[in-house]
Amino acid sequence: MSSPSPEDAPREPEPERSSAKKEKKRKWPQRGASILGLTRAGHRALLAGQDQEALTSFQRAFLLASEAPRERDTLVLQACAFNLGAAYVETGDPARGLALLLRAQPEGQAQGGRHGDQCFNVALAYHALGDLPQALAWYRKALGHYQPLCDQGRAQAKMGACYQALGQPEPAAHCLQEASRAYAQAGQPRAAALALGAAAGCMLSSGQHAVSEVVRVLQESRRLAERSAERGLLGRLYNDLGLSYSQLRLFPLAAEAFLQALPLCRAPGEAATVLTNLGMAHNALGNYQEAREFHRKAAALHGACQGLGNPSGTEGLRGGPAGAPKLRSGWTFRTGYGPGDAGGGWPGRAEGAGPRGQGQGLGG
């Protein structure tokens, strides 16, 4: 009796794995729609300031994309990794965010704005982790792919912030001036004014610029601010301009800038800071009665006269020439903030340029 040939042997049913694979392919259009819906929900939640809800949506989208059929998973999974990574950076977990952003293979994508956004988000993650050289490298990559001027301004401003943190005010000033030019050409005078005001501060810190050059930059910053219909954050800008004028011992211009800041203050503490600075500027000008009145108003807001320095005005401004009054910055300029930071596909927070999301092409 001969053995049966393989052809005669009864065929085994197809493995269940193959059946499951077919079922997964069949359900993929529905999963793709779910991924796209979750991605859009994540972006809406971020716009509404609902960080945890946004993170949950992006996590669910990423998990669904991880189950996609092999031939469909690459671009979808990269997009979901990009969004989830950006959300982690935005919500304060840059280490986890960076791992996902790199998984999205930003250097392997096509040219253009979306590629610039990917590089920009990687830069933000490195920036948050304190790896400033890597952050600078990735901001430069983003800059090389951005066409819209507001995006170019955002990248330049962030590079300026990195150079400031590295203690290099001269390249910081250059980047911030470039950012201001890009914002101005994009029709965003407030962002341009903020960047240029910060550039002037860096020019003062570097000690490599003539007084006339710094004054020109300060005056241009004020001109841009006055063109802006959006008044938010301009109180901080005018206060900082006043400090810069004080460092240059241009006290009439300093007092004028502080007066412009005063009606733009959004909290009693801010107003107290500006009133204190006005008092010091008038003290330096010899207007002692006006100085006392401003100090009195500041003390009333503070509840006590704190941090007013030497009433005679003989102490030097920190980082400024000896003999300038000791003024108070009160606020910290957040380099890189501008109207364009809150636009596009990913919302920015008032604190600075937020990550940029990628919601297109997920439903294929």
The residue ranges of every structural domain in the chain are 29-104
Q: What is the pLDDT of residue 3?
A: 43
pLDDT of residue 73: 61
Q: How high is the pLDDT of residue 347? A: 23
97 and 86 in contact (C-beta within 8 Å)?
A: yes
Among 101, 121, 192, 108, which Cα is nearest to 150's? 192
For residue 209, what pLDDT is reported? 96
Kindly report the backbone phi and psi dihedral angles of residue 328, in degrees, each rounded to the nearest multiple of 5, phi listed first: -125, 135
- State the pLDDT at residue 69: 62
Between CA 160 and CA 174 the distance in angstroms is 8
pLDDT of 101 reads 93
Going residue by residue through the chain, which has 364 residues, state the pLDDT in tens, using 9 for 90 and above.
Answer: 444 444 444 444 444 455 555 555 555 567 778 889 999 999 899 888 898 999 999 999 999 888 866 545 678 888 899 999 999 998 899 999 999 999 887 655 555 667 888 899 999 999 999 999 999 999 999 999 898 888 999 999 999 999 999 999 999 999 999 999 999 999 999 999 999 999 999 999 999 999 999 999 999 999 999 998 887 778 989 999 999 999 999 999 999 999 999 999 888 888 999 999 999 999 999 999 999 999 999 999 887 445 444 333 323 222 233 333 444 444 322 223 232 332 222 222 222 334 555 543 343 3
Q: Give the list of residues 6+ apart from residue 234 with CB closer than 8 angstroms, or none.
A: 190, 193, 225, 228, 261, 264
* pLDDT value of position 21: 54
CA dist 314 and 329 (Å) reads: 18
Which pLDDT score is estimated for 195?
Answer: 96
Q: How far is CA 125 from CA 92, 119, 139, 167, in A?
A: 10, 10, 11, 20
pLDDT value of position 303 = 74
In CATH, 29-104 is 3.40.630? no
Q: How confident is the model at residue 330, as a pLDDT?
A: 43
Task: Give the per-residue pLDDT at 276.
Answer: 94
